[in-house]
């Protein structure tokens, strides 16, 4: 069954709602240029309230290694998601499992994957304007090809309307959604979250 990460959590209410809806992981954005940015202390307070068996993911973009590791320790992160131009060596020095994000323009964007030994590859749509959360979709054939390198987490423009098709076509290890289940940047829509998770885990209704 496909794992589901709800990213861009900024409130305890949204965090607990997503968990109750069946989310396997929650993402917290520690990138201050994002509209979904959350501070370390605020994130730690939310994470303290989470039940067991929910994975906590921290998203960073070209951040100093010491900051990544200290934030992971402070918040008790399970996974570090690196969304910038971080090198394979940088990933090896992170004191958590790493999910490395790659912004896909086309098949050529997959070439660097072989250099990274990480827990999973997150594939997002390329945008010159942002590192993620743009709501744009890329060619899912690239995600299918990337599975040869390891576990793939599919992101980029996923919504309750297209998630069943995405999961059926790509059969990824997991999916990651942020803007596709929001009422506004950083504020989740409970109905969209529930529908998204249900369709991601059960794309073929019985």
Calculate what percentage of the chain has a pLDDT beyond 90: 90
The architecture of the domain spanning 3-201 is Alpha-Beta Barrel (3.20)
- Residue pLDDT, tens place only, 34-51: 999 999 999 999 999 999
124 is catalytic: yes
**According to the model, what pLDDT value does residue 137 have?**
86
Confidence tier at 128 by pLDDT (50, 70, 90): low
Helix intervals (H) in 21-95 = 40-48, 65-75, 88-93
For 184, the token pair is 């506004």
Residue ranges per structural domain of the chain: 3-201
- Active-site residue, from 14, 24, 124, 176: 124
| pTM to 2 decimal places | 0.94
Q: Which of 7, 75, 91, 142 is catalytic?
A: 7
The overall average pLDDT reported for the chain is: 94
Token pair 């399970």: residue? 78
């Amino acid at each position: 069954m496909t794992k589901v990460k709800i990213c861009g959590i900024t409130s305890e209410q949204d965090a607990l709602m997503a968990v109750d809806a069946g989310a396997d992981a929650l993402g917290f954005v520690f990138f201050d240029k994002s509209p979904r940015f959350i501070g370390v202390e605020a994130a730690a307070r939310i994470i303290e309230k989470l039940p067991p068996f929910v994975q906590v993911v921290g998203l960073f973009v070209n951040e100093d290694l010491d900051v990544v590791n200290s934030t992971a320790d402070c918040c008790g992160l399970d996974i570090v998601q690196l969304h910038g131009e971080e090198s394979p060596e940088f990933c090896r020095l992170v004191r958590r499992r790493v999910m490395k994000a790659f912004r896909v323009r086309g098949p050529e964007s997959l070439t660097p994957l072989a250099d990274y030994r990480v827990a999973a590859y997150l594939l997002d749509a390329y945008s010159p304007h942002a590192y993620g959360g743009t709501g744009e979709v890329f060619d899912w054939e690239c995600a299918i090809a990337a599975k040869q390198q390891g576990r793939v987490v599919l992101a980029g423009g996923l919504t309750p309307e297209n998630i069943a098709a995405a999961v059926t076509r790509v059969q990824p290890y997991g999916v990651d959604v942020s803007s596709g289940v929001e009422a506004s940047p950083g504020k989740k829509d409970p109905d969209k979250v529930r529908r998204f998770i249900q369709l991601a885990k059960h794309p073929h209704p019985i």
